[in-house]
Amino acid sequence: MTPILQPIIIFHSMLKIESKTATAKGSQKIVYDFITDFRNFSGLLPQERLNDLEFSREMIRFGLQGLGTVGLVIREKKPCSEVIITATEDSSADFSFRIFIREAGTNRSEVNLTLQANLNTFLEMVAKGPLQQFADLVVDKLSEVEFQ
């Protein structure tokens, strides 16, 4: 008797992660200009976890252990207040994030980001903690930058 194969159903959900808010030592415009040039991201990313990094002004590509190759592009810019970044079509993951910048006084800006990822339920459980750490790390690193 031949066993009946049951289809495997993989549920996907949209994981949403909000970073903490950090204060960057620069005006809203200076921080925005910095964020909209991916060549500046080399100091913001945890390079010990990445490999094969490639940077250009509006694109970044890197290998991430356990996730494969990830490419990011700037999809939309709202001058001085928001940058929307999405995964490239050839990325091994489907996600996007928005970086929000608000004026917080003379030469100070508040920065936070929201990350959304379309993951299957298992990956969501595994990735939620590391993605939260990543989001918080990026805004922490932005608060350490000495903007000109």
The predicted structure's pLDDT at residue 10: 52
Average pLDDT of the residues of the chain: 85
Q: For residue 6, what pLDDT is reported?
A: 56
Full-model pTM:
0.82
Q: Domains in the chain, ordered, with CATH?
A: 15-144 (3.30.530.20)
Instruction: Measure the CA–CA gap between 98 and 114, rounded to whole angstroms.
Output: 5
CB 143 within 8 A of CB 23: yes
Closest CA to 113 of 127, 88, 133: 133
Q: Are 141 and 44 in contact, with CB atoms under 8 Å apart?
A: yes
Residues 6+ apart with CB under 8 A from 16: 114, 115, 116
Q: What is the pLDDT of residue 67?
A: 64
